[in-house]
Structures are given as structure tokens and as C-alpha cells.
Amino acid sequence: MPLPLFRLPPLSQRRWLAEALARPTPPSARNLSDGFRLPGRGGEPTPAAVLVPLVNRPHGLQVLLTQRTAHLSDHAGQISFPGGRVEPEDPSHAAAALRETQEEVGLSPERVAVLGQLAEYETVTGFRVTPIVGWVEPPFDVLPDPFEVADVFEVPLAFLLDPANQQRHFRMLGEMRRDYWAIPYRDRYIWGATAAMLLILDRTLRAAAENA
């Protein structure tokens, strides 16, 4: 079922998203973490937050994503949302996501209107991530941190929220099979935590549309 979101003009899209995110999280959007932890990453998860930046372009809403540099210790080379761990001085998860986004890609918090948040997701590296959904109004500049970010790009939200593009893949780690979500887009391979959080967004919005 196509989401009604994509039939609305931009101002109505923004309002519809905020109202959808204000609803209780549906059961289908909870517990999407696979429960797998990398060796040595056990224990209590570290709080973190990412920004899911929805960019209001004339050709439709886009999602701003980053490709991490290849030398990082966690999720090297993978496609991610901008974000990171919540620091003691951060007043909220949303503040942490906006701060990390500015540090990673140079997007000013003044260009982002927070619409709401999604269900938490626990990563294989031991982070409990709260996705913060933000509306980004162009024009804006990006200035990627060369240490952390190899590339910044956008993908149509309609593509990412199309169930036909949401795939279940697996990899073998020795004799252990690890299943995960993936949303390939052109030459980009969006998978793991980022793909799972997009699934959380999709299921949250679909539940809101069904119960409207």
C-alpha cells in the first residue's frame, strides 16, 4: 500500500509525519535488532542517537546518508545515518543527534526541525540507538569530517519505504549465520542497522496510515 505521505504537498507532509511519529510505536516496529553482538562487545549497551534527515527537495523527499571512512573501528565503510554516542552534556537524544550531525557533515541544527523519534535499535557493536527524524529545509551546505565521512549523498524516501526494495540477506561468520535487512540502491549497499532503522520508520508510518 503506497503511503498517503507521498500524495501530500510538502507542508502537509511535514505535519503528517509529525502526527504519525507522535503515535505509540506499533509492535511491528519494535525488537528489530537481531540480538547478535560482536565478540568483546557484550555488557550494557551505550546510549547513542542518529538523525534520520528528510530533505525537502522539489522532486520529493530525500534521505541524507553518509558513507563512513574505511579506517574506522566501528562499521567501517558502511552507509549510516549521521550520529553517535550520547554525551553527558547532551540534554536529550535529539540534541545528541543534531550535535553529531553537525560535527560529521556540517549540517547546522538551525536547518533541522525535529519531527519525532523512532523505536530504539541495538547494534552489533553494543550501542542502543535512538533514531531522531528531522525535516531539513534547503538550501544548506555540507562539510564532511574527512576522518569519519567518506561521502554524503541522498536517496529518495519513497524508494527506501517501498517494501519491494527491502530485502533480507545473510552472511556467515564462521559457522554462525547472521541475518540482516538490506536496501540496495544503485551502487550503494544500505544494510544492517541503517536498513533496519529505515524498516522501523516504514512500519511506524504504515501503522499510522492504517489507524488514521
- Evaluate if residue 172 carries a pLDDT over 80: no
Are 185 and 155 contacting, i.e. CB atoms less than 8 angstroms apart? yes
- Evaluate if residue 43 carries a pLDDT over 80: no
200: cell is 522501523
Other CB atoms within a 10 A radius of the CB of residue 42 amount to: 9
pLDDT at site 73: 53
pLDDT at site 80: 94
- Evaluate if residue 69 carries a pLDDT over 80: yes
- Evaluate if residue 170 carries a pLDDT over 80: no
pLDDT one-digit tens code per residue, 75-125: 556 899 999 999 999 999 999 999 999 999 999 999 999 999 999 999 888
For the segment 124-130, the average pLDDT, to the nearest whole number, is: 91
- Strand ranges for the chain from DSSP E: 46-57, 60-68, 79-80, 83-85, 112-117, 121-122, 127-136, 149-156, 167-173, 176-185, 188-191
pLDDT one-digit tens code per residue, 7-23: 999 999 999 999 999 99
At residue 2 the predicted structure's pLDDT band, cuts being 50, 70 and 90, is confident
Nearest-5° Cα angle at 51, 45 to 52: 115
Percent of the chain whose predicted confidence (pLDDT) is above 90: 75
Please name the amino acid found at residue 130.
Answer: T
Q: How crowded is the C-beta side of 75, counted as CA atoms within 13 Å?
A: 23
Segment among 84-88, 167-171, 172-176 with least mean pLDDT: 172-176
Percent of the chain whose predicted confidence (pLDDT) is above 70: 91
176: cell is 554462525
For the segment 32-61, the average pLDDT, to the nearest whole number, is: 85
Rg, the chain, Cα only: 16
pLDDT one-digit tens code per residue, 23-40: 999 999 998 887 676 666
pTM of the predicted model as reported, rounded to 2 decimal places: 0.93
